[in-house]
């Protein structure tokens, strides 16, 4: 019990330190002008895009319909995210996945929530194959295509472009094999 009390005290001390640092960081952010905040957001987006360009996926291309859908999605890397768009020049997340599968002559539902029920669910990330749908967040509001090597190809959010990103950057729920 004494060890537990010591651990709790140490954790409380660390929590205070982190909260203090967060408070200081928030004060600094509040001092930025709108123009500085926009420049910072642009830099963050460029950094994420560059990181996505350097992704090592190994040498697998996927196979069958999933492989064809994945290849279609790869062909639009860099296309802008635009909410409610389903290609061919701009996409939201489920617009990208439904468009990619359509290029492989497979019709899937338009929304991420509906796509979550469009095939066989895969709960273990180690069982995912290239081109499988990957569903994120408890409310299933985001979807991408598994790219191999722990990466997902997706249209992440407004102001971003279609890109690769680590599957670990978002709360994975399950995969869907079409």
In angstroms, what CA-CA distances link 58 with 79, 93, 103, 126, 147? Answer: 23, 24, 24, 15, 10
Are 80 and 90 in contact by the 8 Å Cβ rule? The answer is yes
Of the candidates 85, 93, 141, 157, the residue annotated as catalytic is: 93
9 and 44 share one domain: yes
Of the candidates 85, 141, 142, 157, the residue annotated as catalytic is: 142
26 and 82 share one domain: no
- Look at residue 50 in the predicted model and tell me its pLDDT: 60
The CATH number that applies at residue 143 is: 3.90.1720.10
Asked if 142 is an active-site residue, the reply is yes
Are 134 and 93 in contact by the 8 Å Cβ rule? The answer is no
- Look at residue 34 in the predicted model and tell me its pLDDT: 86
73 and 122 share one domain: yes
Q: Which residues does the chain have with pLDDT short of 70? A: 47-62
Please tell me the total count of domains within the chain: 2
Handedness of CA 145, 147, 151, 154 (dihedral sign): negative
Write out the residue range of the structural domain in which residue 112 sits: 60-177
**126 contact partners, CB below 8 Å, separation of at least 6:** none
Per-residue pLDDT tens for 73-118? 999 999 999 999 998 999 999 999 999 999 999 999 999 999 999 9
Asked if 85 is an active-site residue, the reply is no
- Look at residue 49 in the predicted model and tell me its pLDDT: 61
- Look at residue 36 in the predicted model and tell me its pLDDT: 85
Of the candidates 85, 141, 154, 157, the residue annotated as catalytic is: 154
- Look at residue 105 in the predicted model and tell me its pLDDT: 96
3-state SS record for 78-95: CCEECCCCECCCCECHHH
167 and 137 share one domain: yes
- Look at residue 32 in the predicted model and tell me its pLDDT: 84
Asked if 93 is an active-site residue, the reply is yes
Sheet-wide strand order for 142-148: 120-122, 172-177, 133-136, 142-148, 151-154, 163-166
List the structure tokens of 79.
Answer: 């296309």
30 and 91 share one domain: no
Q: Write the burial class of residue 71 (CB in 10 Å: 0-12 exposed, 13-18 middle, 19+ buried).
A: middle
7 and 68 share one domain: no
């Amino acid at each position: 019990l004494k060890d537990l009390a010591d651990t709790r005290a140490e954790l409380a001390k660390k929590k205070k330190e982190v909260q203090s640092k967060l408070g200081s960081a928030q004060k600094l952010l509040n001092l930025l002008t709108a123009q500085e905040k926009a420049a910072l957001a642009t830099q963050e987006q460029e950094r994420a895009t560059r990181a996505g360009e350097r992704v090592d996926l190994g040498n697998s291309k996927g196979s069958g319909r999933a492989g064809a859908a994945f290849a279609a999605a790869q062909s639009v890397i860099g296309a802008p995210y635009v909410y409610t768009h389903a290609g061919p020049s701009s996409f939201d997340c489920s617009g990208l996945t439904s468009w990619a599968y359509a290029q492989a002559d497979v019709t899937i539902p338009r929304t991420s929530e509906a796509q979550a029920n469009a095939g066989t669910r895969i709960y273990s990330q180690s069982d995912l194959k290239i081109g499988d749908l990957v569903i994120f967040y408890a409310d299933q509001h985001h979807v991408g295509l598994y790219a191999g090597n722990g990466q997902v190809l997706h249209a992440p959010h407004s102001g971003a472009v279609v890109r690769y990103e680590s599957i670990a950057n978002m709360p994975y729920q399950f995969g869907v094999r079409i």
